[in-house]
Amino acid sequence: MGKHEDLKFYDRLREGDKQALETLYDKYERLLYSFSYKMVNNPEAAEEVVQEVMIKLWKGKGGYSPEYGKFSSWLLTVTRHTAIDYLRKQKKVSTEEVHTEVELHDSEPPIEEVLEWKEKGERLHQAMKTLKREQQLIIDLFYFKGYSQKKISEKVDIPLGTVKGRIRLALKHLKSELYEERGDLQ
């Protein structure tokens, strides 16, 4: 499914087509889960974030436009913001809350999925190693720790424009690195 097909399914989704939502879910669920898991570090929370992103898609919150770039990039941005919102809510929850639900041990993802995510994570980790040290730090703070660009600027003590430039250059480098390795851009 290419860029144009994503847009076609997104347009159908906006018209209330449940099948289009299912198609987009099937295509992006693993990517969104992996991305959100890296941020929230909890499998159930990552699933909740993905669910919330799909609900936002269905309800039409924060509509997509091709002017924003690739659909997948926009979807990852929505996921990132949703994960950050989730983390903020968790900080508000009292540490004394009573746990009434029984944890189920069989809720773990199948071993095949775990191995696939580890492999993808390793490819990304290897690609990250090719970045300059300051780019690695900024990408980690921005995408994996949920810092805003302004907070990164303050933490690392560099101008906001420099933070934005390093993120842009790092993403461009990662994209070309992963494209070179895989021969495609999925």
- The answer to whether 121 touches 144, Cβ cutoff 8 Å, is no
Give the C-alpha distances (Å, rounded to integers) separating 37 from 12, 13, 44, 180: 28, 26, 9, 26
pLDDT digits (tens, 9 = 90+) for 88-103: 888 765 443 433 333 4
Third-level CATH fold of 1-93+102-108: Rna Polymerase Sigma Factor; Chain: A (1.10.1740)
Reported as type and span, the H/E element at residue 22 is helix 18-40
φ/ψ (deg, to 5) at 147: -70, 145
Identify the pLDDT of residue 108: 54
Question: In the chain, which residues fall in CATH 1.10.10.10?
Answer: 111-186
Pick the CATH number of 111-186 from 3.30.420.40, 1.10.10.10, 3.40.50.11540, 3.40.190.10: 1.10.10.10
Q: Taken in order 107, 112, 113, 116, is the CA torsion positive or negative? A: positive
User: What pLDDT digit, counting tens, does each position of 114-157 carry?
Assistant: 666 677 777 777 888 889 999 989 988 888 788 889 999 999 99
